[in-house]
Amino acid sequence: MVKLNELHDNPGATKPRKRVGRGPGSGTGKTAGRGIKGQKSRSGVAINGYEGGQMPIYQRLPKRGFSKPNRKQFAVVNLGLIQKFIDAGKLGEEITETELVDSGLIRRKRDGIRVLSKGEITSKVQITVTGASKSAIEAVEKVGGSLTVTSAPAAE
């Protein structure tokens, strides 16, 4: 059994801290390993990205791109996963966005659900979602089902 007074670290796990500026015999006396003079020898100096008065590289490079602040984020689901859930009996013939969330296939709707064509679908189903790729619509219609795309996300 382990006793509190017998607990100790592995040998070499902790080292004593280096005390700088404590005389010539310590090896880090006088200037404490900082050299002589200059900005970096002084206290209170943190110069990240400073290039000695030269224009820093992050300012020399051109700015590119644009992040749209109000862009729509869709929850993505593949046809192969829908088929897997149909085979498992978690989804039926008619599939809506709320049924996809309730079955556990998608965690949350976000700005809507978008169906992509990765994987195969073999069941004849009616799917109603916010978005779908052209190849996904073709794949569902090839089996005899229908994939309807609504213009706005369904309200909860």
Q: So what's the pLDDT on residue 15?
A: 92
pLDDT one-digit tens code per residue, 72-117 = 999 999 999 999 998 988 888 888 999 989 989 999 988 999 999 9
Burial of 111 (0-12, 13-18, 19+ CB in 10 A): middle
C-alpha distances in angstroms, 134 versus 40, 117, 144, 148? 61, 8, 16, 11
- pLDDT value at 154 more than 70: no
pLDDT one-digit tens code per residue, 54-83 = 999 999 999 999 999 999 999 999 999 999
Q: So what's the pLDDT on residue 47?
A: 81
> What is the pLDDT confidence band of residue 156, given thresholds at 50, 70 and 90?
very low
Overall pTM > 0.85: no
pLDDT one-digit tens code per residue, 17-59 = 999 999 999 999 999 999 999 888 988 887 888 887 899 999 9
Structural domains in the chain, CATH included, are 75-149 (3.100.10.10)
pLDDT over 90 percentage in the chain: 56
